[in-house]
Amino acid sequence: MPEPLLEVSDLRIRFGGFTAVDGLSFSVRPGEVLGVVGESGSGKSVSMLGVLGLIRTPGAEISGSVVFRGRDLLTLKNAEMRAIRGREIAMIFQDPMTALTPVYTIGWQIAEQIRAHEKVSKRAARDRAITLLGEVGIPAPEQRVDAYPHEFSGGMRQRAVIAMALSCNPALLIADEPTTALDVTTQAQILDLMRRLRTEYGSAVVMITHDMGVVSEIADEVLVMYGGRAVERGTRREVFHGPRHPYTWGLLDSVPRVRGARARRLPTIPGTPGAAERGCPFADRCVHSFAACVEVPPLTGESGHLDACWLPEEERMR
Amino acid sequence: MVGYILRRFGAAVLVLFAISVLVFLIFFATPGVDPAARIAGKNADPATLAQVRASFGFDRPLPVQYAMMMKHLFVSHDLTSFVNRGTLVIPQIIDAVPVTLSLVVGAAVIWMVLGVAMGTLAGAMRGTVVDPLVMLLGVFGVSLPVYWLGEVVNLITQKELHDSVFSWVPPLGYVPISQGVGQWALHLLFPWLTLALLYAGIYARLLRGELINALNEDYVRTARAKGLSERRILIKHALRCSLIPIVSLFGLDFGALVGGAALLTEVVFGLPGVGKLTYQALQNLDLPVIMGTVLYAAFFVVLANAVVDVLYARLDPRVRRA
């Protein structure tokens, strides 16, 4: 098994009295796509912002370790972290409509990132921006490079954002719901693009999403999060064909089925997202909860398919 | 962009025309009032009234009256004040313009530099003690009325400490720039500072708010994720976008001040500018002068707005096609 590119262990992020991420551990190997799934508020985005050191709320406490290529990112100085951000780890955000500075051209913004990390001329940076825009499927990149963000559609902007993220050939790309703000056909195109770029650029990808469909399209490994904790982790096959945690069952049930009898109503997970005060974070909403659930279950399991649930084996017949 | 500029200035010309018609109608076609009597001033004799009637064509249709008025104003420049018998109006305004322009341009430079510096400092240092301190300074500036501050400044620099610390301060009044930039600037220094203090406070507060909003925007997060330095993010991204509303406000303020709103500063510091001219004309109901200054003020407000809109389009690509 190759050395992990990113190894996060026991990451904890607290805002005042509120714990947003509670002892999260996972690793990403080079070239691998990790899908991080969970409802809103499960701590997916905030944990990735924590990895990149982008949490700037005053009073936020971050502990644990985030080892990237042998260095703990949480101990790096600002300047060292800046050299990693954008060059070795790039991030794509959810809403392409607001992610670009409105007053600069697309090409200028891509060139800005290139020139922040490499000593190249303006001309060369611009040429590379044109090449990148072409690679992410923007037609007539020589002209579009001088367009402003408001002159692009949502899908085109997300392509431009992806081009910008890839501009320094990062080893790891963190994509925070990159398709959520787009319509379905555009979503499919962006996912296609990301799959293709992953083989061409060889970047590992952490794909944050609440959409099981997106995960099943693109992920090699799946991490299911609830209430700031990992509740299940395994390969895509394991999680989709043999889900072990009741929360994962709920997530998978809430996807409409194309084949078979149509359900009268789509099943939902009862209650609202939010971790329980103590014990298993999902216990409040879990139809299977029993006496043992007052204790926090550890993430355990065999052969890489891990889950955090006290439910005995025979009751997990699915 | 060129098309936008042409369109914008075309619109400005139309607005100016509309204003001139409106002003004309208010002064000359208000029902129930004899315009000749108003122009001739208080207690005018019948001969003067007849002269006014003939010269402004009050026995002819309104459009002709309008054309004659505009001819007096812009072509022959021979509009005469009847209160100060025989004084030509246009040369008075032309003499006053450089004074007001000098005052307002200098003050504008100071308040923009100060306001942007203070606003940026407060916005960037939010959460530290610097922010409330700078803002307190801004409120201080906003809450001092110009006429009071100006008098206090005069009291200190011209009287109380004139023999010691401020012996270099020249007497009140205006010295044209043609007599040396040094003397010109020295005479205007305290008027500039007095006028700028108020606006610097307002602009600093406004910019701080804009900047704090901008720093919470998604594009700033993107810029951080790109690995840019905080300084670059602040100046190139957040500040650049925050300046857009500041510039449009600046256009309005600048136009209004050049148009005569700097009156209080001009009066306190004895500067014979447009504001002071209007003020005097209002006191003795010198209608031709009032009309001249109103049109002049409208001209500068409209011009400043057109310039600002062009600048706005330069700053914000989103409005160029609007």
**ipTM of the modeled complex:** 0.86
Residue A277 clears pLDDT 80, i.e. is over it: no
Task: Tell whether B75 lies on the interface with A, counting CB pairs under 8 A.
Answer: no
CA dist A278 → A281, A296, A306, B71 (Å): 7, 7, 21, 87
Using CB atoms, pick whichever of A85, A100, A117 lies closest to residue B225. Answer: A85
In a domain, B280, yes or no: no
pLDDT tens digits for range B233-250: 999 999 999 998 898 889
What average pLDDT does the structure give for chain A? 87
Contact call for A85 and B223, based on CB within 8 A: no
CA A23 to the chain's CA centroid: 17
Residue A104 clears pLDDT 90, i.e. is over it: yes
Contact call for B219 and A99, based on CB within 8 A: yes
What is the distance in angstroms between the Cα of B225 and the nearest Cα belonging to chain A?
6
Highest mean pLDDT range out of A34-38, B283-287, B312-316?
A: A34-38
DSSP per-residue string spanning A145-191: TT--GGGS-HHHHHHHHHHHHHTT--SEEEEESTTTTS-HHHHHHHH
Contact call for B217 and A148, based on CB within 8 A: no
Contact A252, A212 (CB under 8 A): yes
| Per-residue confidence (pLDDT) for residue B75, from 0 to 100 | 83
| Per-residue confidence (pLDDT) for residue A317, from 0 to 100 | 60
Contact A82, A96 (CB under 8 A): no
When mean pLDDT is compared across B27-36, B58-67, B200-209, the lowest value belongs to B27-36
In a domain, B163, yes or no: yes
| Per-residue confidence (pLDDT) for residue A276, from 0 to 100 | 66
Q: Model confidence at A124, in pLDDT bands (50, 70, 90)?
A: very high
What is the distance in angstroms between the Cα of B137 and the nearest Cα belonging to chain A?
25
Task: Tell whether B135 lies on the interface with A, counting CB pairs under 8 A.
Answer: no
What whole-number percentage of chain B has pLDDT above 70?
A: 99
Burial class (CB in 10 A: 0-12, 13-18, 19+), B72: buried
Contact B83, B41 (CB under 8 A): yes
In a domain, B93, yes or no: no
CB contacts of B317 in chain A (<8 Å) are: 102-103, 148, 150
Q: Assign domain A6-88+168-316 to its CATH superfamily.
A: P-loop containing nucleotide triphosphate hydrolases (3.40.50.300)
Q: Model confidence at A189, in pLDDT bands (50, 70, 90)?
A: confident
- What CATH number is given to the structural domain containing B121? 1.10.3720.10
What pTM was estimated for this model as a whole? Answer: 0.83
Contact A155, A182 (CB under 8 A): yes
CB contacts of B227 in chain A (<8 Å) are: 82-87, 113, 116-117
Search chain A and give the residue with CA nearest B219: A99
CB contacts of A54 in chain B (<8 Å) are: 221, 224-225
Residue B43 clears pLDDT 80, i.e. is over it: no
Q: Which of A46, A103, A180 to mutate to test the interface with B (most CBs of B within 10 A)?
A: A103
Burial class (CB in 10 A: 0-12, 13-18, 19+), A259: exposed
The residue segments making up the domain with residue B204 are 103-275
Query: What span, in angstroms and rounded, lies between the C-alpha atoms of A39 and B266?
Result: 64
| Per-residue confidence (pLDDT) for residue A34, from 0 to 100 | 93
What average pLDDT does the structure give for chain B? 87
- Domain ranges (residues) in chain A: 6-88+168-316
CB contacts of A98 in chain B (<8 Å) are: 217-219
In a domain, B151, yes or no: yes
Task: Tell whether B74 lies on the interface with A, counting CB pairs under 8 A.
Answer: no
Q: Model confidence at A1, in pLDDT bands (50, 70, 90)?
A: low
Residues 205-234 of B with CB under 8 A from A: 217-219, 221-230, 232
| Per-residue confidence (pLDDT) for residue B321, from 0 to 100 | 63
In a domain, B68, yes or no: no
In a domain, B72, yes or no: no
Average pLDDT over residues A155-170: 90
pLDDT tens digits for range A193-212: 888 888 888 889 999 998 88
Using CB atoms, pick whichever of A95, A117, A148 lies closest to residue B227. Answer: A117
What whole-number percentage of chain A has pLDDT above 70?
A: 97
Task: Tell whether B318 lies on the interface with A, counting CB pairs under 8 A.
Answer: yes
| Per-residue confidence (pLDDT) for residue B141, from 0 to 100 | 87
CB contacts of B244 in chain A (<8 Å) are: 103
Phi, psi of A176 (to 5 degrees): -95, 100
Residue A118 clears pLDDT 60, i.e. is over it: yes
When mean pLDDT is compared across A274-278, B22-26, B27-31, B133-137, the lowest value belongs to A274-278
Contact call for A85 and B241, based on CB within 8 A: no
In a domain, B54, yes or no: no
Average pLDDT over residues A180-204: 84
The number of distinct structural domains making up chain B is: 1
Residue burial A96-118, b: 16+ Cβ < 10 Å; e: rest: bbbbbbbbbbbbbbbbbbbbbbe
Tokens of B222: 């993107």
Residues 229-268 of B with CB under 8 A from A: 229-230, 232, 236-237, 240-241, 244
| Per-residue confidence (pLDDT) for residue B319, from 0 to 100 | 78
CB contacts of A86 in chain B (<8 Å) are: 225-228
Residue A17 clears pLDDT 60, i.e. is over it: yes
Average pLDDT over residues A214-224: 90
3-state secondary structure of B187: helix
In a domain, B144, yes or no: yes
Identify residues of A whose CB sits under 8 angstroms from chain B CBs: 52, 54, 58, 78, 82-87, 90-91, 93, 95, 98-103, 112-113, 116-117, 148, 150, 161, 164
Tokens of B42: 């208080």
Contact call for B228 and A116, based on CB within 8 A: yes
What whole-number percentage of chain A has pLDDT above 90?
A: 40
Between chain A and chain B, the number of residue pairs with CB atoms below 8 A apart is: 71
